[in-house]
Amino acid sequence: MNSLQLKLLVSLLLLTGLGIFGYKAFVLGFPLTPEEQTRTWNVEARVSFEAQDSPVKATLQTLNRLPRFVVTDEYFISDDYGLLRGMQAEDGSGLTNDTDAENAIAVWSKRSAKGKQDLFYSARLRPENNSDDRTWVHPTDIPRLVDPQFTPAEQAAANSLLTKVGSESADIETFVPHLMQLLMPPSDNTDAAYLLRGHPGRLGAVNMAVRLLHFSGIPAQSVHGITLSTSNNAPLSHWLELYHDGAWHMFDVTQGAFGTPGDFVPWWRGNAPLASLKGGDNLEVTLSVAPVSVSSLKNTVEQLNITEPAIMGFSLFNLPVQAQATYRVILLIPIGALLLVFLRNVIGFSTFGTFMPALIALSFRETELLWGVCLFSIVIILGLSVRLYLEHLKLLLVPRLACVLIVVVLLMAGISVVSFKLGFPRGISVSLFPMVILSMTIERVSVMWDEMGAGKAIQQIIGTMAVAVLAYLAMSNQYIEHLTFVFPELFLVLLALTMMTGRYTGFRLLELIRFRALLKR
């Protein structure tokens, strides 16, 4: 019965702990290792123009739902302009509430302005950790075809061009590259040259391709965006996006090939301009891009704060920073305890006190290992000699313990002063915590010294130190620290493991030595 209860409890704990852990690690995307860095990007658009002392209205396309990225920390910086944000259809016609519209715009307006004006839009792009899940996809309804509004002459040219391309290609994968090849300036095809008159540059070619594709019955739109690389004046690049076989396909105009762009960030879609202006001159938009490295943990936490605030409401990250720092240490104690359980019950180490090594390891964290071991050895040796001397004075136990404590404090203060004078700054890194532990250790050692002899006592000190060093190594491991703090649910697993060790009735490793006389037969 008891055993069944234990098994059920252990499996429940394991399932819950590992389940939450798996959900957080693989669905929510918490990083498993501490120093995973994610590159996030700061993107900024600067809109500048000359105002003409009249009502001003400036419109800028802003970043919207992007595949593989989350847009956070959006700022609109403008002195005293009114700001309006809304959605806009691909053809650039006005503000709409239609959430299917793919472009988000910002509209700055002011009754009267004069002289040079600068408006800023900046945003941070965070890569999504789990691309399958939340990546934004296009609306799935089949897009409608738009009349390209060709003049009869243009229609003839388009027909001839499309016939030529159609005869030289086999399917859509070859049709589009061929078409773009003919449209890309400088074009030596006369039909193409006629169609592109008055629409210079790559943008003109892309827009014409969209019209031609609509003309031949393939829904398409242009996509304008930037490439993520550090730049103060990032050039806009234009891609073609067409709907075919029930899905959207991106076509890289510069490469002349289909493909999903890697570091290309779509800014807006359709034939609306990046920015438009009423009541001003010399409109100029400069885009700049700069990478920022943040830890992926911070990235995930901030991203979840935006997307799923409910989950983050019940997490350690919600605590004040100082409490978080304390918990980073406190959460390590169970690790030391489990290690101790293992070393004592499975290996068979014997140590001073049950959890003394874990406490010593904790104080090593404050002093660092090598210095901690030196400090402990020095103070224990000196403290022990004082304690043995006090024995001669026949003091009672509690006053003697107090004497040892006072001497330990003095010793540590002395060591700090001397080592600081000698230029070892580590010497002053001791704090309240190790002091008490040291006095307790000295008292225990000296009692054992009296009772069991020096050899046994030294053996125990070395054993305790060894376990403490092992515990320190486990407790100062940054992976373990990261895992315990980010995934506190792993303590349920720890609890289950400890319970399982609690039922381990086999031999301890060191009992092999203890019973070796029996093995010899």
Q: Give the contacts of 22 (CB within 8 A, at least 6 positions apart).
A: none
Task: Write out the binding residues for other proteins, residues 435-454 only, by CB under 8 A.
Answer: 447, 451-453
Which of the ranges 144-152, 162-170, 480-488, 506-514 carries the binding residues for other proteins, by CB under 8 A?
A: 506-514
Q: Is 389 in the site for other proteins (CB under 8 A)?
A: no
Which of the ranges 36-44, 113-121, 186-194, 500-508 carries the binding residues for other proteins, by CB under 8 A?
A: 500-508
Binding test (CB under 8 A) with other proteins, winner from 345, 416, 429, 476? 345
Nearest to 465 by CA among 361, 382, 384, 365: 361
Cα(466)–Cα(460) distance, integer angstroms:
10
Q: Is 456 in the site for other proteins (CB under 8 A)?
A: yes
Cα(344)–Cα(404) distance, integer angstroms:
29
Write down the least CB distance from residue 458 to other proteins, Å.
14
Q: Is 515 in the site for other proteins (CB under 8 A)?
A: yes
Nearest to 439 by CA among 405, 390, 391: 405
Task: Write out the binding residues for other proteins, residues 397-426 only, by CB under 8 A.
Answer: 397-398
CA distances for 49 relative to 53, 60, 115, 267, angstroms: 12, 13, 8, 21
Q: Is 388 in the site for other proteins (CB under 8 A)?
A: no
Q: Is 504 in the site for other proteins (CB under 8 A)?
A: yes
Q: What φ, ψ does residue 265 adopt, rounded to 5°? A: -110, 115
Q: Is 500 in the site for other proteins (CB under 8 A)?
A: no
Q: Is 392 in the site for other proteins (CB under 8 A)?
A: no
Write down the least CB distance from residue 443 to other proteins, Å.
9
In the complex with other proteins, which residue's Cβ is closer, 330 or 454? 454
Q: Is 353 in the site for other proteins (CB under 8 A)?
A: no
Q: Is 503 in the site for other proteins (CB under 8 A)?
A: yes
DSSP 515: T
- Cis omega (within 30 of 0) on the bond before 291? no
Cα(179)–Cα(181) distance, integer angstroms:
5
Long-range contacts of residues 386-389, Cβ cutoff 8 Å, at least 24 apart: 387/442, 387/443, 387/446, 388/446, 388/449
Nearest to 136 by CA among 71, 224, 45: 71
In the complex with other proteins, which residue's Cβ is closer, 139 or 453? 453
In the complex with other proteins, which residue's Cβ is closer, 197 or 514? 514
Q: Is 186 in the site for other proteins (CB under 8 A)?
A: no
Q: Is 4 in the site for other proteins (CB under 8 A)?
A: no
In the complex with other proteins, which residue's Cβ is closer, 68 or 508? 508
Write down the least CB distance from residue 504 to other proteins, Å.
6
Q: Is 494 in the site for other proteins (CB under 8 A)?
A: no
Burial letters 210-230, b for 16+ CB under 10 A, else e? bbbbbbbebbbbbbbbbebee
Binding site for other proteins (CB under 8 A): 345, 348, 394, 396-398, 447, 451-453, 456, 503-508, 511-521
